[in-house]
């Protein structure tokens, strides 16, 4: 990546993703967008299909994924399944996944 090119980040998550307005803070330095809704899990995002559409519609350099806060404790296998799905989709779009 060269600093002269626009570095684009897509945030996928829930209310914790938007708490303290992190996407806006990052957007001051980079091009950033966010897909988040309260209590969202990665499974809910996958099933809505909006992330997949956004990945196909624009070029992203990185995608920051955040699952629902208690999911790793109560539904680890499901969380891992959807992380893998998103990682495959993100890499197919030539972006780097970040958890």
Closest CA to 36 of 7, 12, 55, 20: 12
What pLDDT does residue 3 have? Answer: 45
12-21 pLDDT per residue, tens: 888 887 877 7
In angstroms, rounded to a whole number, what is the distance separating the alpha carbons of residues 33 and 60? Answer: 10
Q: In what order do the strands lie in the sheet with 62-65?
A: 31-36, 8-13, 62-65, 96-98
Most distant pair of Cα atoms in the chain: their distance: 43
Q: Taking the model in full, what pTM does it have?
A: 0.77
Copy the structure tokens of residue 80: 């891992």
pLDDT digit string (tens) for 30-79? 788 889 989 999 999 999 999 999 999 999 999 999 999 898 899 999 99
- CATH H superfamily, domain 8-98: SGNH hydrolase (3.40.50.1110)
Q: What's the pLDDT at 1? A: 44
- Domain layout of the chain by residue ranges: 8-98
């Amino acid at each position: 990546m060269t600093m002269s090119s626009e570095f684009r980040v897509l945030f996928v998550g829930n209310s914790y993703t938007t708490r303290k307005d992190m996407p806006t803070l990052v957007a001051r330095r980079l091009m950033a967008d966010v897909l988040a809704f309260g209590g969202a899990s990665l499974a809910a995002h996958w099933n809505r299909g909006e992330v997949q559409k956004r990945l196909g519609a624009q070029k992203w350099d990185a995608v920051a994924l955040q699952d629902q806060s208690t999911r790793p404790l109560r539904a680890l296998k499901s969380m891992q399944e959807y992380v893998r799905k998103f990682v495959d989709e993100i890499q197919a779009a030539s972006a780097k996944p970040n958890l």
